[in-house]
Amino acid sequence: MAADAAGPERYGCVHYRRKCKIRAPCCGEVFDCRHCHNEAKDSLEVSIHGRHVVPRHEIKLVICSLCNKEQDVQQDCSNCGACLGKYFCAKCNLFDDDVSSEFEFSQVDETRNCFQYSSSEVFLSCFLLFVLCSLVFQVSKNQFHCDGCGICRTGGIENFYHCDKCGCCYTYLLKDSHLCVDRAMHQNCPVCFEYLFESTKAVSVLHCGHTIHLQCLYEMRAHQQFSCPVCLRSSCDMSAMWQKLDQEVAASSMPAICQKKMVRSLPSSEFRIWILCNDCGMTSNVQFHILAHKCPGCSSYNTRQTRGDKAECSRV
């Protein structure tokens, strides 16, 4: 077929290369894919009462892009015989001709990036490796359907496992290292509030187990924010920063005026406050300093003052 020989890049949209469109079961309109529908129908330009997303599993009709035949969901057109998508999932109603293209690190499965790492250092190393490989090799997307997630993903089923507690597929690099959080991926990004499980953007798993868009994480760090927006635990290795703070605290003597303003009745040697460590959860009674307060349990400066009276150390 001449039209088919022209190549799949002629058809599809910015989200998928394929030879069919969908009829949305929610509104009856035709779109290139469910993402195109959601961008048009679930945007700020639409009345709040009219906003909706297409239920992907309820899609029943597709339209062949070659002959315009509307038909039931199937891989090959019932009229002209064209393959509507080299990858086809009858469970997700997903079609995709892009099965062996150059690897795009930001373009992931139907909903979300599978490449998640517990630290930015590991992520950056793997990212550079994949970029280098993509310059030389043609890497298959290796789509697969995960029954636990209920959606299709990319990267090869042999490279990922489904974490039942977190409710998502994670790379095997995280199997023995990530901290499980109930339905961690079924939450909104704590920065931009986009639903992470349905997001097409890259997602990162923090040390604490909470999840966040990778780009949002980078923007936080660009603004000198290095703690999880949900639990306030440090989101990366801060040991080098704590060492610098050790030096700055040692080199900075407490101004007497600050002590007088805070506690007039106590001499400076007895001026102590209660702090809570956001990293280890210990509450401690430490000497007040204008710069920062160090946790005696884990040596972290990621702490906050709770009260100003004297007490012994305890753990919460």
Rg (CA), the chain: 26
Predicted confidence at residue 133, as pLDDT, reads 44
**Number of Cβ within a 10 Å radius of residue 314:** 10
Confidence of residue 308 (pLDDT cuts 50, 70, 90): low
Report how far apart, in Å, the C-alpha atoms of 107 and of each of 103, 104, 138, 143, 202 are. 8, 5, 15, 12, 8
Which residue, 244, 245, 242, 260, is CA-closest to 299?
242
pLDDT at 313 over 80: no
Average pLDDT over the chain reads 80
Average pLDDT over residues 255-270: 54
Torsional sign, CA 264, 266, 270, 272: negative
Q: 160 has which bridge partners?
A: 171
DSSP 207-234: TTS-EEEHHHHHHHHHTT--B-TTT--B
CA neighbours closer than 13 Å in the CB half-sphere of residue 228 = 21
Average pLDDT over residues 60-85: 95
Instruction: Answer whether 158's CB lies under 8 Å from 176's CB.
Output: no
Instruction: Answer whether 308's CB lies under 8 Å from 262's CB.
Output: yes
Residue showing tokens 């920065």: 191
Please write the tens of the pLDDT for every residue from 111-145: 333 334 434 444 444 544 444 444 334 446 788 99
Q: CA–CA separation, 313 vs 304, rounded Å?
A: 15
Please write the tens of the pLDDT for every residue from 196-248: 887 878 888 898 889 999 999 999 999 999 999 999 999 888 999 999 999 99
Please write the tens of the pLDDT for every residue from 166-207: 888 888 888 887 788 888 889 999 999 988 887 878 888 898
Which residue, 98, 79, 74, 77, is CA-closest to 87?
98
Please write the tens of the pLDDT for every residue from 267-300: 444 577 899 999 999 999 988 888 899 999 999 9
Report how far apart, in Å, the C-alpha atoms of 114 and of each of 96, 110, 121 are. 17, 10, 17
Average pLDDT over residues 8-22: 86
Q: Chain centroid to CA 173: how far?
A: 16
Which residue, 197, 201, 205, is CA-closest to 230?
205
Average pLDDT over residues 36-54: 91
Longest Cα–Cα distance of the chain, Å, equals 91
DSSP 146-181: ETTTTEEESS-GGGEEEETTTTEEEEGGGTTTSPP-
Which of 62-71, 91-100, 129-138, 153-162 is predicted least confidently?
129-138
Predicted confidence at residue 310, as pLDDT, reads 44
